[in-house]
Structure 1
Amino acid sequence: MAVSEQRTQSEVGPLLRGWRERRHLSQVDLANQAAVSSRHLSFVETGRAKPSRAMVLRLAEHLEVPMRDRNALLLAAGYAPVYEQKPLADPMMEPVRDAIKQVLSGHDPYPALVVDGEWNLVDTNRSFELFTEGAAPELLEPPVNALRLVLHPKGMAPRIINLGVWRAKLLGRLSRRAAADPRLRPLYEELLEYPCHQEEPELDVPGLGDICIPLQLRRGEHQLSFFGTLATFGTPRDITVAELIIESFFPADEATAEAVRGMSRP
């Protein structure tokens, strides 16, 4: 066996094992799901067997590995990547851009935004200005990072009434993503240093009657309360499209709904 082949086999095995452990699956569980023998899977993870291109993709599918990381698995196994990453400005992306515009504009008068895999703003609707009011100009210079905008002391943070809860929620989500995507580690470490003078709960324990965590925001004399929904594109075949997240905010009470509708009137 050639040295280069030994190297790629030893690289892809630990990567697959890492993803399996991250998903809290045993070798037997994954083997049953992917319809392969647990013995063969063990050989793949230890580098004693070289997985085929189809096997790498099958295991990655059952492990719900993101497309960017599936390409990394293929490279580690000695195969060419299969997923492209076209910029959103590419002419072939026009249907995606049109869909984003329709979703965002259709959500007015309530705020909505689209972020990429690093939480950089891709687009927003007009009502997103409710969130950016009073933010320092440098935080609004492209590329605008949505998490930095929310948690920075010169961003939204001073206006967020329940900052401790939202900070814990966002940092927890980012920490889990950063464990699999090293690109996000510097951002996580930066945000971790931002000040917060509220308690940050380690566990999300709902109170009586709670159905979701609202974003409670001061705006002038109003106290606005929103809950958010996340949407992604179904069956993507491109990394850029797969990593896009559309977050739409809805009023959590009638007072917020009325206040926002009033702000949107001429």
Structure 2
Amino acid sequence: MTTAAAAHRPVGELLREWRDRRRISQLDLSISAEISARHLSFVETGRSAPSRDMVLRLGEHLDVPLRERNQLLLAAGYAPVYGETSLTAPDFAPAMHAVRRLLAGHDPYPAVVVDRRWNLVEANAGAGLLTEGVHADLALAPVNVLRLTLHPRGMAPRIVNLGEWRAHLLGRLRREVAATADPWLGDLLAELRGYPCEQPVPEVEVPAPGDILVPLRLRHATGELAFLSTVATFGTPLDVTLAELSIESFFPADPATAAFLGGVPGGADPAGSR
């Protein structure tokens, strides 16, 4: 939903949509937000105009993303309170410095930073291992990491467990579409679902005996490499841009991959100290 579209819809209607999306009853929301159910009903139906603080409180209790909380404020007739700082702005420098230190410190293991639409923001040198052999068109800015991964001219031919990894990524994206109501992400999900995949794509990720996570298994000239991944975000963002950054870090999922990469970041023994 665009900011302009949200601003032309009643704030009560938007709040009700978010409450329905979160599958929270009026009573439960009124209890958690510490307002009367009657007043909440009046806000949703337009019989009462919420204060600025009320909009912010309801947005927080509904876990509305910061970008969309600004839209709620605009729809209610208030100015946005959450800034959207450029990645190159001086005020953003400490955050980007922290991001780049994390990326550099993670080498030689791959790590990438993406924005809310999975466009690449930063990557470390180790990330080049993941993108070997992708078509040049997919590497043109802005690089969409999901498209690069699942496109038949991207990483897909090198992914040994493509069906499994595809199901994992599509599941993450599907949950983000539900969480953010971003139609652009919905279009991306539809595009990715249309990519060919010769392997079966499970609807539900069911572990095989001994499995604890879905690894990324890549074909490589030296043999198969296996990675597990973690995702990190900033813990206390008050800026839209910062809130929407995600850092995905890949670690070896088996001793052979650890040996190929030459150990963990910092030069420690990949098996750990004993």
Specify every segment of 5 or more residues in structure 1 that has no aligned partner in the other structure, as ranges: 1-6
CA contact (8 A) 1:174 1:184 kept: yes
TM-score (norm 2): 0.90
The residue number in structure 2 matching 1:229 is: 230
What secondary structure does 1:85 align onto? Answer: coil
Q: Secondary structure at the match of 1:248?
A: strand
Q: Distance in 1 between matches of 2:130 and 2:66?
A: 31
Identity %: 59
Q: CA deviation at 1:9?
A: 9.9
Could you tell me how far 1:131 is from its partner in structure 2?
Answer: 0.6
Matched ranges for 1:206-245 at <5 A: 206-245=207-246
Q: What do the CA deviations read for 1:194-243 (whole angstroms, capped 9, x no partner)?
A: 11011111112222222111011111131111111000011111111000
CA distance in 2, matches of 1:22, 1:176: 11
* TM-score, L = length of structure 1: 0.92
Show the counterpart of 2:108. Answer: 109
CA contact (8 A) 1:222 1:259 kept: no
CA contact (8 A) 1:168 1:201 kept: yes
State the partner residue of 2:155.
Answer: 156
Q: How many residues align?
A: 258
Question: Greater helix percent: which structure?
Answer: 1
Which SS does the other structure have where 1:219 is aligned? coil
What's the offset of the Cα at 1:185?
2.5
Number of the residue aligned with 1:58? 57
**Cα displacement string for residues 161-205 of structure 1 (whole angstroms, at most 9, x for unaligned residues):** 111111112122222323411122232222122110111111122
Q: Distance in 1 between matches of 2:247 and 2:237?
A: 14
Task: State the alpha-carbon separation in 2 of the partners of residues 101 and 72 from structure 1.
Answer: 31
User: 2:170 matched to 1:171?
Assistant: yes
User: What is the identity, as a one-letter code, of the residue corresponding to 1:207?
Assistant: A
* Whole-Å separation in 2 of the counterparts to 1:70 and 1:10: 14
Q: Give the CA deviation at 1:33.
A: 0.7
Output the aligned Cα RMSD. 1.9
From the superposition, tell whether residues 9 and 94 of structure 1 become closer, same or farther in structure 2 (CA, over 3 Å): closer
Unmatched runs of 5 consecutive residues or more in structure 2: 1-5, 268-274
Structure 1 Cα separation of the partners of residues 35 and 171 of structure 2: 34
Q: Distance in 1 between matches of 2:46 and 2:170?
A: 36
Amino acid at match of 2:53: A
Aligned in 2, Cα 1:84/1:71: closer, same or farther, shift over 3 Å? same
Task: Return the alpha-carbon distance in structure 1 between the equivalents of residues 248 and 39 of structure 2.
Answer: 42
